[in-house]
Amino acid sequence: MTLTLNYTYRIYPDNKQEAMLSEWLEICRRSYNYALRELKDWISSRKCLVDRCSLESEYIMAASYPFPSYHQQQNQLPKAKKVYPELAKVPSQVLQTNVRRLHDAWDFFRNRGFGFPRFKKYGQMKSLLFPQFRDNPLTGWQIEQGSASRFPRQAQVLLQLPKLGKVEVNLHRPIPNGFVIKQVRVIKKAKGWFAVVSIQSDITLPEIETPFGHFLGLDVGLSSYLATSDNYVEKGRLFFKSEYRKLKLLQRRLSRKNKRSKNYEKARKKVEKQHNHIAFKRKDYQFKLAHKVCDMGDSIFMEDIDFRIMAKGFLGKHTLDAGFGQFRDILKYVCKVRGKYFGLVDHRGTSQTCPNCRAEVRKTLSDRVHDCHECGYQCDRDVASAQEICNRGIETHSRQGLCRTETVCQVEVRG
């Protein structure tokens, strides 16, 4: 097994490079839309039966016209370059991965039944993927790598990208030994430009297949961001109240501006910047929390709840703000890197079950305390859910198949 990590660095393209990158983004956007148009036309041409007349004047194609698959469309690129010479400005691999991206979105739609790929409006294409490098594209950091200090370099570090040349990069954290750069995604954000560098190593991390050590159940929620089965409760940062207040203010200002005016554009940029800022902060918070959780236990269990469905409920906005789905992904990743076991358990009724005697204890959202009428077990409501999640984790994930009495014991010892 190889280990892949994504490191994000800020990059500083000069004016010329910035103009080039922006132009590439625009070309990629148009070719994305073109490819999507082809896909959509093909789909609408199959919508009505062959022997009927299409009432909605759908685009008519020969029945033998092949489905514009990824390979089909990718093979069209060299021909398309002859007709649209501007395509040749973009490195061809970047164009290919751009088409790949459309087909990933299409496959996602076919598997899940929602999220049909959409046309991208001007400025909506924000990233370019450079999928492979023959040589290490980073220069200026290896020389001092051997020295004692953790951050030895003061020298300028440059990232070499095809057709673009060398871009200055702030390598705020060095690339660990034994890792090779596989791909680089360049992203345009309101704050500036960033490069997400995927690095890979063949060092074999032991695949953690069975739970071990100390077991920990986690419950995430809105009243407390996170509760563990060991009675630890993380209050959460009130989902960045002040940051959101500022965002609201900026949005209100934006709504008063005339569309298409210069001031509108300025205000829009500010709103985008604030969105980015909140996203950065949240991610940072979640990474730190994930490491904290890994410090507290060896086998970690969470609910298999679909947070997107939860977000459709009446607490929708708050659920999205909290980013539970992202937190679970981050935690999974951190567990992998730190050699901890991560498992999901059935979410149904975790908050309505007594972790001690497994009786059903009905609670409404406003009941903050778990108080079992069967065995008299009392504790914080979220902690009780976390303990039930832990019980289920042991039952469903443990190979030894710990029997029920033992799991009850575990909780009793804690209580």
Residues forming contacts to Zn ion in the complex (CB under 5 A) are: 354, 356-357, 359, 372, 374-375, 377
Q: How many whole angstroms separate alpha carbon 347 and alpha carbon 169?
A: 44
For the CB of residue 353, give the shortest distance to Zn ion in the complex, in Å.
Answer: 9
For the CB of residue 361, give the shortest distance to Zn ion in the complex, in Å.
Answer: 7
- With a CB cutoff of 8 Å and minimum separation 6, the contacts of 68 are 35, 38, 39, 42
Apex 388 CA angle, 415 and 227, nearest 5? 75
Residue 43, classified by CB atoms within 10 Å of its CB into exposed (0-12), middle (13-18) or buried (19+), is middle
For the CB of residue 383, give the shortest distance to Zn ion in the complex, in Å.
Answer: 14
Q: Which is nearer to Zn ion, 195 or 390 (CB)?
A: 390
- With a CB cutoff of 8 Å and minimum separation 6, the contacts of 402 are 394, 395
Q: Which is nearer to Zn ion, 123 or 376 (CB)?
A: 376
Q: Which is nearer to Zn ion, 90 or 390 (CB)?
A: 390
Q: Which is nearer to Zn ion, 14 or 374 (CB)?
A: 374
What torsion, rounded to 10 degrees, do the Cα atoms 122, 123, 126, 132 define?
Answer: 50
| Contact present, 77 and 87 (Cβ < 8 Å) | yes
For the CB of residue 358, give the shortest distance to Zn ion in the complex, in Å.
Answer: 7
Q: Which is nearer to Zn ion, 279 or 359 (CB)?
A: 359
Q: Tokens in use for 84?
A: 């649209």
Q: Which is nearer to Zn ion, 125 or 389 (CB)?
A: 389
For the CB of residue 378, give the shortest distance to Zn ion in the complex, in Å.
Answer: 9
Beta-bridge partners for 197:
7, 184
Tell me the pairing of strands 180-189 and 192-201. antiparallel
Q: Which is nearer to Zn ion, 241 or 362 (CB)?
A: 362
For the CB of residue 208, give the shortest distance to Zn ion in the complex, in Å.
Answer: 32
- With a CB cutoff of 8 Å and minimum separation 6, the contacts of 9 are 159, 169, 170, 171, 172, 194, 195, 197
Q: Which is nearer to Zn ion, 205 or 369 (CB)?
A: 369
Tell me the pairing of strands 299-303 and 341-345. parallel
For the CB of residue 347, give the shortest distance to Zn ion in the complex, in Å.
Answer: 20
For the CB of residue 214, give the shortest distance to Zn ion in the complex, in Å.
Answer: 23
| Contact present, 95 and 28 (Cβ < 8 Å) | yes
